[in-house]
Structure 1
Amino acid sequence: MPKYSMFFFCLNVWSLSGVFGVDSVKSVSVTEGESVSLNLTEIQRDDEIAWKFENIMIAKIYRKDNTSRFYEDSADGRFRDRLKLDQTGSLIITNTRTTDSGEYKVTGKSSKIPLNIFSLTVYVPVPVPVITRDSSQNSSSSSSSSCSFLCSVLNVGHVTLSWYKGNSLLSSISVSDLSRSLSLHLECLDDSYSCVVNNPIRNQTQHLNNTELCQTCSDHCICCCGFIEAVIRLALSVLVGVAAVAVLVYDIRSRTLQHEQTSLSNSK
């Protein structure tokens, strides 16, 4: 191959790798139900700009008369009445759904090489986690001085569920299955614990309320918060008792000393 041909071949390969390389794909995330705009990196001068979802034509904009065309029945009709194109050719998707997640390509009439590539991920809204006492764990527990608690969320995917003590992470689990229930077990100690569920763009936190949860304990479980409270009350009772005894002893000694001094004075 002549050296000039080789030069142009390498140049074309380099150009294509720049278009299709990792750096050319723009990742966009949004929560389900929100609107998202896939903005072109620069205003395209092509007379015709087309948008494709997973290589299926979904919209076109014509520069000459600034009109748009939407392919309502394409991609199983999932984008019906939810697509818009602005004057720059950027695509706007309203009322997003998880089925909108995927790859979006922008092409011009004069070139089949994509002008822009977007990777859109639509996440299910993150619910506030629920903390409950785990009766199954408590009834089978050999320890009678603690309760096990359950933190859970339902019908979510691509999230992480974590227990924290203050700002310190204790444990966490991650799943991508929408139908699973997530749970973590924790031995109750104090109110500094919290459960956090999050995905890459949202998080929700629920703080552990010992006082409220301990009221539901069964006869098989003495909550640690109740145990700690009992220990504190016992310690306070002991301190009060010791103080009362000390005062009584001091009073008796004072009276005895005063009586001795009085007797000594009278004998003189």
Structure 2
Amino acid sequence: MGVFGESLSVMEGDSVSLNTGVTEMKDDDEILWTFGAEDSLIAEISKADGVFSTYGRFRDRLKLDDQTGSLTITNITTEHAGVYQLEIRGMTLSSKTFNVSVYARLPVPVISRDSSNCSSSPSNCSLVCSSVVNVSHVTLSWYKGISVLSSISASDLSISLSLPLEVEYQDKNTYSCVLNNPISNQTTHLDINTLCHTCEVHNHCCGPTEAVIRLALCALVGVATVAFLLYDIRATRGDKKLIDTS
């Protein structure tokens, strides 16, 4: 019995074919496909017995080649990832394993201005690239041209990734944020003129202490204005009474 394995990686929603390596089945050949640690039977071909069937919870996604016995999984999802075992019975007995990895489609990372650090440096613009992912084995990275500046990786599902970056307002370099897994990536390019111009405006905005002082000054000015108006009205009425009495 010959035993060897093959590793395959596929994107969720795509199709993957597990090839038997057989050019054409013989009349007395029997092919069995099993899946998972329990070796659950999912497909079977027996020319002698007239058997050509698929089984199990995702049988509607399985397609068998009646000439070679190869198995195709269509519209694959992460629940279909795992080990597939092929057994060919005939004049000789052989087997083969396939380790199938399925990766979910990646979201596009989002670049935004980090308002919490907007006033920390008058010459730099603080940015953050973030992504909420429901997939495993992903890396979020900042690139300057083709060079990696920083990166963060995660192997768990359902996690929020974020990565900061500081650039000068007049920086002319090309920056991009990339989210990738072993077989695909999503890229967002930084528009410094748009994001950092907004940040620069906010850098000139008053902080909490200055805002309180300005509010207090506005209130004092308002009180003084009202007092002046009341004094002016009373003075005008006083002058009018003097004129009437005279």
Q: TM-score, normalised by structure 2?
A: 0.71
Greater relative contact order (Cα < 8 A, sep 6+): 2
1:59 alignment partner, one of 43, 47, 51: 43
Q: Give the counterpart letter for 1:151 in structure 2.
A: C
1:120-146 deviation per Cα after TM superposition (whole angstroms, max 9, x unaligned): 00101122211111223335x3x2322
How far did residue 113 of structure 1 move?
6.7
Work out the number of aligned pairs and report it. Answer: 195
| Structure 1: tracts of 5 or more residues without a match | 1-14, 223-268
Q: 1:111 to 1:27 in 2, by over 3 A?
A: farther
**Match of residue 215 from structure 2:** none
Q: Give the distance between the partners of 1:172 and 1:112, measured in 2 at CA.
A: 51
How far did residue 218 of structure 1 move?
6.7
Q: Give the distance between the partners of 1:136 and 1:64, measured in 2 at CA.
A: 73
**Backbone CA RMSD of aligned residues:** 2.4
**Bigger shift: 88-97 or 210-219?**
210-219
- After the TM superposition, which residues 227-238 of structure 1 pair with which residues of structure 2 at under 5 Å, given as runs? none
**Match of residue 152 from structure 1:** 130
Q: Does 1:202 align with 2:184?
A: yes
How far did residue 64 of structure 1 move?
3.2
**Match of residue 35 from structure 1:** 15
Q: Percent identity?
A: 55
**Match of residue 213 from structure 1:** 195
- After the TM superposition, which residues 235-254 of structure 1 pair with which residues of structure 2 at under 5 Å, given as runs? none
Q: TM-score, normalised by structure 1?
A: 0.66
How far did residue 147 of structure 1 move?
2.1
Q: Give the distance between the partners of 2:180 and 2:147, measured in 1 at CA.
A: 16
Q: Does 1:91 align with 2:71?
A: yes
1:82-132 deviation per Cα after TM superposition (whole angstroms, max 9, x unaligned): 101012111100110011110000012359975211000010112221111
Q: Give the distance between the partners of 2:51 and 2:64, measured in 1 at CA.
A: 9
Q: Give the distance between the partners of 1:66 and 1:159, measured in 2 at CA.
A: 46
Q: Give the counterpart letter for 1:180 in structure 2.
A: I
**Match of residue 135 from structure 1:** 115
Structure 1 stretches of 4+ moved >6 Å? none
Which structure's residues are more often helix, by fraction?
1
Q: Does 1:100 align with 2:84?
A: no
How far did residue 68 of structure 1 move?
1.6
Q: Give the distance between the partners of 2:175 and 2:125, measured in 1 at CA.
A: 14
Q: Is the 8 A contact 1:144 1:220 kept in 2?
A: no
